[in-house]
Each structure stands twice: as structure tokens, then as C-alpha cells.
Amino acid sequence: MDGILNINKHHGQTSFSVVAAVRRQSGEKRVGHAGTLDPMATGVLPVCLGRATRVVEYFADMPKLYRAQIALGAATDTYDVTGRVTRRGDISRITREALDAALEGFRGLVRQTPPMFSALKHHGRPLYELARRGVEVARPSRPAHIYRLELLDWQPPLATVEVECGKGTYIRAIAHDLGERLGCGGHLSALVRLSYGPFDIKEAVTVGEVAMALGSGRLYPLDYPLQHLGKLVVGEAAEAAIRNGEAFIEETGEGSALSPEGSSHQRWRAYSRQGRFLAVLRFDRGTGRWQPDKVFV
């Protein structure tokens, strides 16, 4: 069973428990997810089955869209509603205009300090294990790309925002840092992922609907989330090389890959002339050869 399910994860479920439920209902042993969601978060969780588990790494560069509710006036140690309140502040003078002005500093390419309650590792140990013992260590800031950040509503103490962002972005860190910038403290009180790459919450199914989704053909094909990659249609000789994992020169290819030297694509989808998805390729500009990155036939 090869393909991808668009799951709408419910509040309280872990991403691991969703994978376990899909494995149990599908009978497929190879099951994995892209883009972990915290138990308090809901929304789109792509779950890959069979050979589709090999495309998980390509999800990393896809944009994600979130709707977040930020509670101002209290900071927590986890940066979200599940944590212990570490301080409180006055929000009586915070206006919508002040919020908009503060949010401006979070747009574009920014740097974030990961929360202590995160899965990042310090000397081989997850930070959250240290945090639970009351140990705090220095965490270097990391770049994050915020493509869009819009204030939807301000009903004190709750600010509702939509965030479109790239990989490695902590929405909890935005909530915490916003509270710090306003001087009142803040934390994430609710979060829903509305989309992840081509997967949208409007088409998502719940864990309880997995069996029905599998039976009705709502399993997305392996190449569905790879549309952001370039495309190359190859001939029979190149197809044979791909099947053997060998580099090749393709002079009769069709599609956008005809001029790979001038393209911004780092990876390409390869198809046979009959439309069969074959592999993900890299183009070596030094040798002019196509190198199979992952073969799916």
C-alpha cells in the first residue's frame, strides 16, 4: 500500500499515535508522518504509507499555514498553554495597532531561539528531558522564514493570527517572543495547521475515517507532494539507467528540465514516457549527468 493520507489530527493526539492508528487500520507496516504536531495542536498531518515513507524528507521545504491563538499577559516555561506560568503582565494598554506594530518584526527572515521544551538535542539528549529536570542550556538562535503573518482578531487577552512559514519555525516561539516584545508575556493557547504544501485541512480525514478513506481511494500518489520539484520525462535508455540507480545523460527529455542549468530546482521528478513516476533526480552541472536520488520502481 503506497501513498499518502491527509490526516486532520485532533487535540490531544500525538503524531506517533496517529501513525500507530493508521498502521493498525491499513495493515501496512511502513508508516511515517511529515511535520510533527504537538498534542495540543490540531490540523493537517500528512501520513505516508509504504514506499511513500521515502518522500518524507522532501516535505521539509514545503510551506505551512497555521492559525494560532496567542494569550497575552502570561508567559509559560513551555511557551504554550500546557506549561507552568513563569510571569504575568499588564495588557490593559495593548491596542490592535500596537499588536500590528509588534508583529512587523516577526515577518520575513528572522531568527528564533528554540524552546527548551522541544525535541532538539543537546549532547545527544532531547532538550525537553533537560527542561523537565529544571535544567536550562544555551540554545543558539536559528533562521526561520515567515512568509506571511496576519493579525485576524484581538479580543483581550487573545490575539488570533495566521502564519505562513518555512521549515524550522516554532509558532510557540512567536507567541513567547511577541509577549516579550510587548512587555507583558505571552504563550500559545491554540494552534491548527491549515495546510502543509499541497495538503489542505478541507480535504483532510480524521483517524476514525482512515479505513473509509483507504477504501474510497483517498490515498494520494507518491509524487503528489513533489510538484514543487522540476519534471523530466525520459526515454527507455534513461529509464533503464534509473532502475539500476545509474547516472545518465538525457538529450531527448521533455518538460521544464530541458534547461536544468538555468533552473532553480535542486531536485527533479522523473517519469517514463507512459507517465509512470520513476525517481527523484539531481542534475550534476559539472558532468551534465542526471543522478538518481531516490528510485521508486
pLDDT digit string, tens, across residues 17-61 = 999 999 999 999 999 999 989 899 999 999 999 999 999 999 988
pLDDT at 110 over 60: yes
pTM (two decimals):
0.89
Instruction: Note whether residue 55 is domain-resident.
Output: yes
Chain-centre distance for alpha carbon 250: 33
Q: Known catalytic residues?
A: 38
Instruction: Single out the residue of 134, 142, 151, 92 nearest to residue 113, CA to CA.
Output: 142
Instruction: Note whether residue 224 is domain-resident.
Output: no
Judgement on whether residues 58 and 202 belong to the same structural domain of the protein: yes
Instruction: Note whether residue 99 is domain-resident.
Output: yes
As a whole number, the mean pLDDT across the chain is 90
The range of the structural domain enclosing residue 188 comes to 64-194
Instruction: Give the pLDDT score at 260.
Output: 58
pLDDT at 166 over 50: yes
Instruction: Give the pLDDT score at 263.
Output: 60
CA pair distance 295, 224, nearest whole angstrom: 16
Judgement on whether residues 162 and 244 belong to the same structural domain of the protein: no
The CATH number that applies at residue 114 is 3.30.2350.10
Q: Which of 40-54, 57-71, 121-135, 168-182 has the lowest mean pLDDT?
A: 121-135
The CATH number that applies at residue 266 is 2.30.130.10
Judgement on whether residues 133 and 174 belong to the same structural domain of the protein: yes
Judgement on whether residues 69 and 190 belong to the same structural domain of the protein: yes
Q: How confident is the model at residue 98 (pLDDT cuts 50, 70, 90)?
A: very high
What does DSSP say about strands 268-271 and 31-33: parallel, antiparallel, or unpaired? unpaired
- Tell me which residue has cell 503528489: 224
Instruction: Give the pLDDT score at 156.
Output: 96
Judgement on whether residues 57 and 204 belong to the same structural domain of the protein: yes
Instruction: Note whether residue 223 is domain-resident.
Output: no
**In the chain, what percentage of residues exceed pLDDT 70?**
94
Task: Provide mean pLDDT across the span 150-158.
Answer: 97
Judgement on whether residues 178 and 204 belong to the same structural domain of the protein: no
Instruction: Note whether residue 220 is domain-resident.
Output: no
Judgement on whether residues 267 and 255 belong to the same structural domain of the protein: yes
**Each residue of 249-288: pLDDT tens digit?**
875 455 444 445 556 678 899 999 999 999 999 998 888 8
Question: How many domains are contained in the chain?
Answer: 3
Q: Which three cell numbers stand for residue 153?
A: 482578531
Judgement on whether residues 81 and 170 belong to the same structural domain of the protein: yes
Judgement on whether residues 34 and 126 belong to the same structural domain of the protein: no
CA pair distance 250, 265, nearest whole angstrom: 17
Instruction: Give the pLDDT score at 264.
Output: 60
Instruction: Give the pLDDT score at 258.
Output: 47
Instruction: Note whether residue 31 is domain-resident.
Output: yes
Task: Provide mean pLDDT across the span 90-99.
Answer: 96
For residue 262, with 0-12 CB atoms within 10 Å meaning exposed, 13-18 middle and 19 or more buried, which class applies?
exposed
Instruction: Note whether residue 222 is domain-resident.
Output: no
Task: Provide mean pLDDT across the span 84-93.
Answer: 95
Q: Where are the alpha helices (DSSP H) in the chain?
A: 15-26, 96-103, 127-132, 171-182, 210-215, 236-243
Strand partners for 292:
281
Judgement on whether residues 140 and 203 belong to the same structural domain of the protein: no
Judgement on whether residues 186 and 70 belong to the same structural domain of the protein: yes
Task: Provide mean pLDDT across the span 57-74.
Answer: 95
Judgement on whether residues 202 and 185 belong to the same structural domain of the protein: no
Instruction: Give the pLDDT score at 256.
Output: 46
Q: Which three cell numbers stand for residue 84?
A: 507552568
